[in-house]
Structures are given as C-alpha cells and as structure tokens.
Amino acid sequence: MDTERGNKGERRPWLVGVSGASGTPYAAAVLRALLDAGEAVDLVVSRAARLTLLDETGTAFRDAHWRDDLTAWTGLDEAALDRVRYWSAGDLGAGPASGSYPAKGMVVVPASTASVAGIAIGLSKDLLQRAADVTLKERRPLVVVPRETPLTGTTLRHLVRLDDAGAVILPASPAFYAGAQDVQRLVDFVAGKVLDVLGVHHDLYRRWDGELGGARREATG
C-alpha cells in the first residue's frame, strides 16, 4: 500500500515542526528519511527556526519560496518535494490546526525550550504549537526532540508534563555504539530513533546486535 495514503486514498501526512533550537541537521535528516520511506510530510518552520537555519546552513527560509529554500537546505529532489506540503507558522487556519485534518502524528525537531514550554501548557502561540496541541488532544503520536543543555527545572517539569500527556521525549542525544565515523552518522542516529517511534522503516543507523565492538569491527573491515 502507498504509505502516504489512508485506506480511502486520502493523503495522510506526518507533521514536522522545526522550532528555533540549534540542530537543523536533525530536522533535515528526519524529513529526508520520512520521504525516502514513501511518507507524506506537512512542514512548519517557526519564525525563530529561520534564524537557526540561516546560522547553521546559510539558507534564508522564505514562505513564498519554500520549495527552493527547502531544496537548498535538504537537497530533496522534485519527486520528494511533491510529497511535502508547507504551511506558514503564522497560519492558524492551516489544515494541521484542526483535529479533523488527517495527520498521522507529529515530530517537533529540534524542539526549543520555548516550544517545549508552549506545547506543555497548551499555549498554541503559532501553528507549530497549535498542531502539537492538536496532536496530543487527538491522541496521535507526538515526538518532541529537545536540544538544550543544561536544562532548567522548569524545562524538566515541562518535559514531564509532555510525557504525561502522551508525547515521547526523544532528546537530541546521539549514541556512539552504532559505529558513527562522522557527524552525519550521529545526526542520522537521532533521526532513526525518531522514525523508530513513528514505526517508519529506515536504515539510518546500525542496530545493536548484542556483540561488543561489532560496529567498530564492521567500520574497520
């Protein structure tokens, strides 16, 4: 079955919200992996995320030119872009602002402490936060990938509140047991853990097979 569509053929996207924490490579890796798996994606980029994107990639992300800017940022091809729907963060009348929109669930990657706070208290100050709130109220999967260190007690309490509400808190915390030889592999590890939660197939990292040093032996031939 076409994974981007439901039983009745309607488009059923994953929502990807990119907020203004450092870590835009995590968002790019999640986007690429979902699209590689044949999924549809609805994308929201917060206003603050435009600053982190500009800082980390040199891409100035513009609503009116999102296809060009998304290509410059992620390298996605036209076929993949055709499965992306982009919504402006200020568009509170957008599809994902309603529970009746047929989304599968949502990932906030990276998640700023401000977004964590906003989602935890149901602030809905922009489409990203509203869509996350909708995802929770509809009891759909919500994965939140916070990127900050150290954390205040306030943020820790917000994260517990999100966990209580049913979200999966998946810190941008790459592991080294999978044999990563470069930064992209560390990024892919986090993205792979996100897709694991969503139940979407990927080959982003080498899974632990119970053998100490297995990944290192594989890498060195």
What is the Cα 207 distance to its own chain's centre? 21
What is the Cα 47 distance to its own chain's centre? 16
20 is in an annotated binding site: yes
188 near ligand FMN, rule: CB under 6 A: no
Select 48 or 191, whichever has its Cβ closest to ligand FMN. 48
51 near ligand FMN, rule: CB under 6 A: yes
Q: Least distance from C-beta 51 to ligand FMN, angstroms? A: 4
114 is in an annotated binding site: yes
108 near ligand FMN, rule: CB under 6 A: no
Residue type, 217: R
Binders of ligand FMN: how many residues, by CB under 6 A? 16
Select 46 or 74, whichever has its Cβ closest to ligand FMN. 46
Q: Can you tell me whether residue 215 is helix, strand or coil?
A: helix
Select 113 or 135, whichever has its Cβ closest to ligand FMN. 113
Helices 66-74, 24-36: crossing angle, 10 deg rounding: 100
β-strands 105-111, 84-88 pairing: unpaired
Q: Looking only at residues 113 through 152 of this chain, which bind ligand FMN when binding is defined by CB under 6 A?
A: 113-115, 147-148
Q: Write phi, then psi, for 132 (nearest 5 degrees).
A: -65, -40
Name the CA dihedral angle for 59, 62, 65, 71, rounded to a multiple of 10 degrees. Answer: 30
* Binding pattern for the stretch 14-33 against ligand FMN, x by CB under 6 A and - elsewhere: -----xxxx-----------
Sign of CA dihedral 195, 87, 105, 157: positive
Select 15 or 114, whichever has its Cβ closest to ligand FMN. 114
Are the C-beta atoms of 84 and 41 separated by less than 8 Å?
A: yes
DSSP letter assigned to residue 11: B
Q: Least distance from C-beta 113 to ligand FMN, angstroms? A: 4
55 near ligand FMN, rule: CB under 6 A: yes
Residue 171: name the closest of 11, 45, 26 by CA: 26
Residue ranges for the binding site for dimethylallyl phosphate?
177, 193
Interface residue list for ligand FMN (CB under 6 A)? 19-22, 46, 48-49, 51-52, 55, 112-115, 147-148
Residue ranges for the binding site?
20-22, 46, 112-115, 147, 177, 193
